[in-house]
């Protein structure tokens, strides 16, 4: 089968590799589509913990179950999406020390076939195209846990989602809207992204390239009860300043790095909570799928590339131009 193999830092190539055997309790899935995540770019660039070469990358996928080694063959022929968690463990609050994400070290979804334990496979929501279904798992899981599980979004909440356009931020917008947030504001560096977010349900959009972005948010919305941030860095203290008493800042990433001189005084005086979150448990994954079906949520797909044009897909993600998920089409 064809697979996108990471040979060394920066070195990806589409190669013929032997499909894996199917152990008892496992299934072989013929992949229809897979989606890129920042994680794939960081691994490609050698900026990730415990990288192994060679590896087949890719954490997100949608495919057709071709073969099952086991008595229950009910999923054969069905379209499924893949839960990218491996070994979360028994604690809902945090992943175990053995936890990994599909696609390095285990072979990922940028391939024609993948072999996985049956419990990683869920029927794909019927209202989604193959590309939309492939776009859902990692970013949808991360956003659902951030907004619903860690952030406990509710109908009295004003929600702020900085940096709209990335996969997790867009899913956070969709889930916050579906789960009934009172008001949702977003920020971006591009006016066209704010317009797109508005069409998806954001009530207010502000350019973070304006030095007065925080004042503009305060003037237009007031304070925020829930902020879902994947950036950290210098703007984080301004997020703290925008948080209402007893507000929550759920932090799922740090693309801007550490926070210089964290404003501790506001955190304790306003009784704020800064809540770290990563991915989500298997229970979160099932709850996320149920919410997607109940609210007929459609992932935002930025663009679709054939697997052979993977280099263009990676370049697009690296340039940060995308609005939504970048998808690789693998087979018809």
CB 88 within 8 A of CB 81: no
- Alpha-carbon distance of 196 to 185, in angstroms, equals 13
Which of the ranges 13-21, 70-78, 261-269, 286-294 carries the binding residues for a copy of itself, by CB under 8 A? 261-269
Cβ neighbour number for residue 329 with a 10 Å cutoff = 18
Closer CB to a copy of itself, 31 or 272, in the complex:
272
Tell me if 265 contacts a copy of itself by CB under 8 A: yes
Q: Which residues contact 219 (CB under 8 A, 6 or more apart)?
A: none
CB 261 within 8 A of CB 254: no
Which of the ranges 40-48, 69-77, 214-222, 260-268 carries the binding residues for a copy of itself, by CB under 8 A? 260-268
The DSSP H or E segment spanning 80 is: strand 79-82
- Alpha-carbon distance of 97 to 87, in angstroms, equals 9
Binding-site member from 153, 242, 272, 301 for a copy of itself (CB under 8 A): 272
Could you identify the residue written with the tokens 């109908």? 155
Going residue by residue from 78 to 117, which x/- string records binding to a copy of itself, judged by CB under 8 A?
A: -------------x-xxx----------------------
Binding-site member from 46, 180, 257, 306 for a copy of itself (CB under 8 A): 257
Closer CB to a copy of itself, 24 or 257, in the complex:
257
The DSSP H or E segment spanning 204 is: strand 204-207
Tell me if 260 contacts a copy of itself by CB under 8 A: yes
3-state secondary structure of 45: coil
Tell me if 245 contacts a copy of itself by CB under 8 A: yes
Closer CB to a copy of itself, 252 or 310, in the complex:
252
* Residues near a copy of itself, by CB under 8 A: 91, 93-95, 150, 232, 236, 245-246, 251-254, 257-278
């Amino acid at each position: 089968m064809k697979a996108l193999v990471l040979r060394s830092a920066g070195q990806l190539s589409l190669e013929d590799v032997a499909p894996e055997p199917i152990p008892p309790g496992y299934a072989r899935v013929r992949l229809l589509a897979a989606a890129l995540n920042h994680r794939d770019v960081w691994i490609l660039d050698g900026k990730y913990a415990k990288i192994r070469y060679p590896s087949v990358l890719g954490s997100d996928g949608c495919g057709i179950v071709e073969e099952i080694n086991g008595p229950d063959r009910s999923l054969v022929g069905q379209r499924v999406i893949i839960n990218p968690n491996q070994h979360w463990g028994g604690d809902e609050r945090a992943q175990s020390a053995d936890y990994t994400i599909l696609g390095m070290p285990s072979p990922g979804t940028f391939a024609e076939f993948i072999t996985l334990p049956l419990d990683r496979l869920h029927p794909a929501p019927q209202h989604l195209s193959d590309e939309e279904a492939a776009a859902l798992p990692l970013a949808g899981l991360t956003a659902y846990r951030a907004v619903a599980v860690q952030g406990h979004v509710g109908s009295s909440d004003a929600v702020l989602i900085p940096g709209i356009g990335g996969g997790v931020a867009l899913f956070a917008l969709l889930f916050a809207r579906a789960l009934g947030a009172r008001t949702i504001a977003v920020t971006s560096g591009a006016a066209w992204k704010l317009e797109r977010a508005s069409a998806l349900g954001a009530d207010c959009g502000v350019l973070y390239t304006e030095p007065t972005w925080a004042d503009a948010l305060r003037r237009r919305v007031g304070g925020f009860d829930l902020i879902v941030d994947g950036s950290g860095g210098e703007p984080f203290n301004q997020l703290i300043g925008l948080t209402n008493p007893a507000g929550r800042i759920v932090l799922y990433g740090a693309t801007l790095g550490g926070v210089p001189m964290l404003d501790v005084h506001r955190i304790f005086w306003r009784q704020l909570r800064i809540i770290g979150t990563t991915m989500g448990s298997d229970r979160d994954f099932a709850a996320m799928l149920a919410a997607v079906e109940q609210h007929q949520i459609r992932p935002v797909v930025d663009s679709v590339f054939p697997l052979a044009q993977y280099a263009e897909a990676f370049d697009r993600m690296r340039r940060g131009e995308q609005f939504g998920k970048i998808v690789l089409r693998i087979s018809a």
